[in-house]
Amino acid sequence: MRILILGAAGMVGRRLIDRLVAERRIAGQDIDVIEAFDVVEADIASPEGITIEAKAGDISDRSEIEALVAKRPDIIFHLAAIVSGEAEADFEKGYRINLDGMSHLLEAIRHEGDVYRPRLVFTSSIAVFGAPFEEPIGDTFLSAPLTSYGTQKAICELLLNDYSRKGYVDGVGIRLPTIVVRPGKPNKAASSFFSGIIREPLAGQEAILPVADDVRHWVASPAAAVGFLMHAALMDTERLGARRCLTMPGLSVTIAEMIEALRVVAGDEVAGRIRREPDAVIEKIVAGWPRNFDASRAEEMGFSADADFADIIRAHMADEAAKTQGSPR
């Protein structure tokens, strides 16, 4: 089996590759090749029995996407995107990467012909929903995003539904919660601080909190995100009907609850490294984000997430300790 991962060099992409390599089989077949595509080449060695083909390129370049699809991967994971803050700041780049990239991918698949119908797992976002919200938000709630990023993801969802309806692709769209705790350095996502207020204090550094403690948000762990992707690749899509996109399970937590969980897990000194510094731009963006969801449709389809936020923190700490000791994730 051949698997293509778009956005493979990112945190979730790398973890997905780790999971695929560890399991070595998917959908009852041996994994032969994993093609890892991103704007930068992923530094991943091929394990015994599986070839990893790492390639750097531009997802908005139609010819590059056509060349990838011409190899006819059985499963395609589309994780590549310009994140929320950057898509808002650079309107043209956001549409070029987030929308044109998806359109090129779907068209390349369609032009491969009727006998080719791969499973396409697309990572959408809860940003497809915009205020005013119902509580909790169900899968049938109006998709009316208030950001360019959310609009781009919403259009991609409609395209995925239509190309699946026409039989060109077997698509599943998963609306990811905000993924925390992300390791490494902050990115340009407006939601980056949700990880930062946990990651930096645990690393002995000060973290800046740009929003109020009563801000509530929908989150899930990196491990849960990989679990969503794997399940989406394997599930019976006939159960989805015409609506191919689902909101993934998560935890609805306030900033105050996150900080309290950090205090319980790591102590007062660590939790005290958070400095409150309001940012009007971030506050405005976050105010338009949904806070709580009814993910029962996804749960009925077999998706599951984290039990509580303290467990997410402990998992991050275990991952960081494993890196320090040189162990695999």
Residue 312, classed as helix, strand or coil, is helix
Residue 227 maps to a domain? yes
Kindly report the pTM of this predicted structure: 0.93
Residue 329: inside a domain, yes or no? Answer: no
Residue 266 lies in a domain: yes
116 in catalytic set = no
Which residues neighbour 131 within 8 Å (Cβ) at sequence distance 6 or greater? 146, 287, 288, 290
Task: pLDDT tens for the chain, 329 residues: list them.
Answer: 999 999 999 999 999 999 999 999 998 999 999 999 999 998 888 999 999 999 999 999 999 999 999 999 999 999 999 988 889 889 999 999 999 999 999 999 999 988 999 999 999 999 899 888 888 999 889 889 988 999 999 999 999 999 999 999 999 999 999 999 998 887 777 788 999 999 999 999 999 999 999 999 999 999 999 999 999 999 999 999 999 999 999 999 999 999 999 999 999 999 999 999 999 988 888 887 788 999 999 999 999 999 999 999 999 999 999 887 765 55
| Three-state secondary-structure class, residue 213 | coil
Kindly list the distances between the CA atom of residue 130 and the CA atoms of 142, 144, 289, 290, in Å, as whole numbers in the listed order: 8, 5, 6, 7
Domain containing residue 243:
2-324
**Per the domain annotation, does 258 fall within a domain?**
yes
Rg, the chain, Cα only: 19
What residues contact 56, with CB distance under 8 A and at least 6 apart? 37, 38, 39, 40, 41
Burial class (CB in 10 A: 0-12, 13-18, 19+), 103: middle
Distance, in Å, from the CA atom of 323 to the CA atom of 44, rounded to the nearest integer, reads: 16
Assign residue 54 the CATH number of its domain. Answer: 3.40.50.720
Question: Do 302 and 208 form a contact (C-beta atoms < 8 A)?
Answer: no
Q: Would you say residue 251 lies in a domain?
A: yes
Burial code of 59-92, b = ≥16 C-beta within 10 A, e = fewer?
A: bbebebbbebbeeebbbbbbbbbbbbbbbbeeee
**Count of domains forming the chain:** 1
Count Cβ atoms within 10 A of the Cβ of residue 177 and give its class: 0-12 exposed, 13-18 middle, 19 or more buried.
buried
Displacement of CA 189 from its chain's centroid (Å)? 12
Q: Quote the pLDDT of residue 327.
A: 54
88 assigned to some structural domain: yes
- Which of 95, 149, 163, 168 is catalytic? The answer is 149
Beta pairing partners, 323: none
Domain-embedded: residue 40:
yes
- Domain membership flag for residue 232: yes
